[in-house]
């Protein structure tokens, strides 16, 4: 794993020493000084967005040693109170509730902020937290659009002394790392095709009706950087995923895991071309993204990556609900990045190597299982003693960009050309306009 982590750091263009947070280094900002933690120091966490994935964050943090959860941040007072009760029951200590992230990041005794809010808040919150001197764990997808991905890359380079990690837990999967190392070492020869997929059995979300904002919900802060819309009854707490204003569709919601695994395995960043086909076929409702989608990415050096998503038909691909299959000149490797499984085959389809991690089957982990704990363990180690994070935010920004490129191609109904050096859209003014979004005045994220 250490070798693979060094690969990440080298690829990101920074040195391992730049991630050291165990002592005051040249250029360490005054804001960050309060977050210098010794190897045996306790880490005080603030968890934001605690309706679903945030609960998985809490579970993982509570399993760590020498940590506290001092603050809970959520725009729903009932959800926040339930999270506080969960922490208090486990630790005997009651976290404080802070409704507004802008006030949260001003609190000096917070060492790390974890972000599990709706997608449109991810990048703005990460920027607020990092510039406020905090270490940051940001859920996938790390941003709502390509412009924000560029901001996060800038943020990562600007604050190298802080740990900025993203939530693709597969980056901490032992068997994932072994399988990917075998790919890099040539076990299946030159890889020319990666097939990735995710399927689910989601139901329709109906057609929303105007409704009064629930008393417990701060709808204004929920919307945050997004342009204001009237409240309706089919958005909160989960269906925001399927609206352009707040979500990124299935590609951003789950495709990010598989595409991130592909980038890690093949050492690739941005494609040359992206083509997406599909549509919203299963239900007639307010869902604004495709529920059936196939995206083809053409990369330099004759590498093709294809992602298939079926949100409402859960018949698995190769018998699995999600995964990646790598085709090479000497064989095939299948990796299930969210389940820490890996199998290698030769050209006669004989199994030549396989591993299966010890993933906890616990619904409270909201899909991450034991990998959540591994990922948070690595996050804490990076904060305490400067070990390189297996998932530096810069890599999350690049992987999330692939999702946005796929969604842009899908909405336009055509192939888009991309500069493989930096991920920028080429020769397409209409597509380029979709690389950013309209922000609520005064809420525009800046680094």
Q: Same domain, yes or no, for 120 and 179?
A: no
Q: How many residues does the chain have?
A: 447
Could you give the dihedral angle defined by the CA atoms of residues 102, 103, 108 and 109, in that order, rounded to the nearest 10 degrees?
Answer: -110
In the 8-state DSSP scheme, what is residue 217? B
What are the tokens at 335? Answer: 């990796």
User: Residue 221: helix, strand or coil by DSSP?
Assistant: helix
Q: Same domain, yes or no, for 129 and 177?
A: no
Q: Does 27 reside within a domain?
A: yes
Helix axes 256-266, 174-184, angle to 10 degrees: 40
Q: Same domain, yes or no, for 160 and 47?
A: yes
Question: How many angstroms from the chain centroid is the CA of residue 208?
Answer: 28
Q: Does 211 reside within a domain?
A: no
Q: Are 328 and 191 in contact (CB under 8 A)?
A: yes
Whole-angstrom distance, CA of residue 301 vs CA of residue 307: 19
What are the tokens at 391? Answer: 């998932």
Q: What is the pairing mode between strands 351-356 and 341-346?
A: antiparallel
**pTM for the full predicted model:** 0.89
Whole-angstrom distance, CA of residue 117 vs CA of residue 221: 11
> pLDDT value at position 35?
45
Per-residue pLDDT in tens (0 to 9) along the chain, 447 residues = 334 333 433 433 333 222 222 222 222 233 333 344 644 589 999 999 999 999 999 999 999 999 999 999 999 999 999 999 999 999 999 999 999 999 999 999 999 999 999 999 999 999 999 999 999 999 999 999 999 999 999 999 999 999 999 999 999 999 899 999 999 999 999 999 999 999 999 999 999 999 999 999 999 999 999 999 999 999 999 999 999 999 999 999 999 999 999 999 999 999 999 999 999 999 999 999 999 999 999 999 999 999 999 999 999 999 899 999 999 999 999 999 888 889 999 999 999 999 886 544 333 333 445 899 999 999 999 999 999 999 999 999 999 999 999 999 999 999 999 999 999 999 999 999 999 999 999 999 999
> pLDDT value at position 3?
41
| Alpha-carbon distances of 256 from 69, 275, 338, 358, rounded to whole Å | 28, 17, 11, 22
Q: Does 39 reside within a domain?
A: yes
Q: Same domain, yes or no, for 304 and 419?
A: yes
Comparing CA positions, the residue from 200, 173, 221 lying closest to residue 371 is: 173
Centre a 10 Å sphere on the Cβ of residue 157 and count the other Cβ atoms it contains: 14
| Alpha-carbon distances of 279 from 235, 285, 298, 316, 438, rounded to whole Å | 20, 13, 21, 19, 24
Q: Does 212 reside within a domain?
A: no
Q: Same domain, yes or no, for 311 and 419?
A: yes
Q: Same domain, yes or no, for 104 and 182?
A: no
Q: Same domain, yes or no, for 167 and 177?
A: no
Q: Same domain, yes or no, for 112 and 137?
A: yes
User: Which CATH number does the domain housing residue 58 bear?
Assistant: 3.40.50.720
Question: What DSSP string describes 380-439?
Answer: HHHHHH-PPPSSBHHHHHHHHHHHHHHHHHHHHTS-EEE-TTT--EES-HHHHHTTS---
Helix axes 393-412, 146-158, angle to 10 degrees: 170
| Alpha-carbon distances of 40 from 44, 159, 235, 239, 381, rounded to whole Å | 13, 23, 43, 41, 10
Whole-angstrom distance, CA of residue 377 vs CA of residue 56: 13
In the chain, how many H helices and how many E strands?
Answer: 14, 16
> pLDDT value at position 194?
98
Backbone φ/ψ region at 206: left (φ over 0), alpha (ψ -120 to 50), beta = left
Q: Same domain, yes or no, for 415 and 284?
A: yes
Domain around 258 = 173-205+235-357+395-433
Q: Are 346 and 352 in contact (CB under 8 A)?
A: yes
Q: Does 177 reside within a domain?
A: yes
Whole-angstrom distance, CA of residue 341 vs CA of residue 323: 9
Q: Does 445 reside within a domain?
A: no
In the 8-state DSSP scheme, what is residue 201? B
Q: Does 217 reside within a domain?
A: no
Q: Same domain, yes or no, for 312 and 384?
A: no
Overall number of domains in the chain:
2
Q: Same domain, yes or no, for 122 and 255?
A: no
Q: Same domain, yes or no, for 71 and 159?
A: yes
Q: Does 308 reside within a domain?
A: yes
User: Which CATH number does the domain housing residue 283 bear?
Assistant: 3.30.360.10
Whole-angstrom distance, CA of residue 432 vs CA of residue 446: 19
């Amino acid at each position: 794993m250490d070798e693979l982590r060094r690969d990440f750091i080298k690829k990101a263009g920074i040195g391992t020493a730049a991630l050291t947070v165990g002592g005051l280094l040249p250029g360490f900002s005054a804001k960050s000084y309060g977050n210098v933690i010794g190897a045996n120091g306790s880490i005080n966490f603030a968890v934001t967005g605690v309706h679903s994935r945030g609960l998985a964050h809490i579970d993982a943090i509570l399993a760590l040693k020498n940590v506290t959860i001092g603050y809970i941040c959520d725009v729903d007072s009932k959800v926040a109170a339930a999270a506080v009760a969960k922490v208090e029951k486990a630790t005997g200590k009651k976290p404080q509730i802070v409704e507004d992230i802008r006030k949260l990041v001003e609190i000096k005794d917070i060492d790390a902020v974890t972000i599990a809010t709706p997608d449109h808040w991810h990048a703005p919150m990460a920027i607020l937290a990092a510039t406020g001197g905090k270490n940051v764990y940001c859920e996938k997808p790390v941003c709502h659009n390509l412009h924000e991905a560029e901001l996060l890359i800038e943020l990562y380079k600007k604050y190298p002394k802080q740990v900025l990690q993203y939530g693709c837990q597969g980056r901490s999967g032992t068997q994932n790392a072994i399988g990917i190392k075998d790919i890099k070492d040539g076990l299946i020869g030159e890889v020319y095709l990666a097939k990735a997929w995710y399927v689910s059995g989601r139901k329709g979300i109906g057609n929303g009706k105007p409704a009064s904002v629930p008393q417990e919900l701060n709808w204004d802060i929920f919307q945050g950087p997004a342009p204001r819309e009237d409240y309706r009854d089919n958005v909160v707490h989960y269906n925001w995923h399927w609206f352009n204003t707040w979500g990124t569709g299935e590609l951003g919601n789950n495709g990010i895991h598989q595409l991130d695994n592909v980038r890690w395995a093949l050492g690739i960043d941005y494609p040359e071309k992206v083509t997406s086909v599909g549509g919203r076929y299963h239900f007639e409702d307010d869902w604004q993204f495709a529920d059936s989608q196939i995206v083809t990415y053409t990369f330099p050096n004759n590498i093709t990556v294809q992602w298939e998503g079926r949100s409402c038909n859960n018949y698995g691909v190769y018998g699995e609900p999600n995964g990646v299959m790598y085709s090479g000149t000497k064989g095939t490797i299948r990796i299930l990045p969210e389940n820490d499984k890996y199998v290698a085959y030769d050209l006669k389809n004989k199994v030549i190597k396989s591993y299966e991690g010890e993933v906890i089957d616990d619904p409270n982990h909201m899909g991450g299982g034991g990998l959540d704990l591994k990922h948070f363990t690595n996050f804490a180690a990076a904060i305490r003693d400067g070990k390189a994070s297996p998932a530096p935010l810069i890599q999350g920004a690049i992987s999330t960009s692939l999702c946005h490129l796929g969604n842009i191609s899908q909405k336009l109904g055509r192939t888009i050309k991309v500069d493989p050096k930096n991920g920028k859209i080429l020769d397409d003014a209409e597509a380029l306009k979709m690389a950013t979004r309209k922000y609520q005045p005064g809420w525009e994220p800046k680094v």
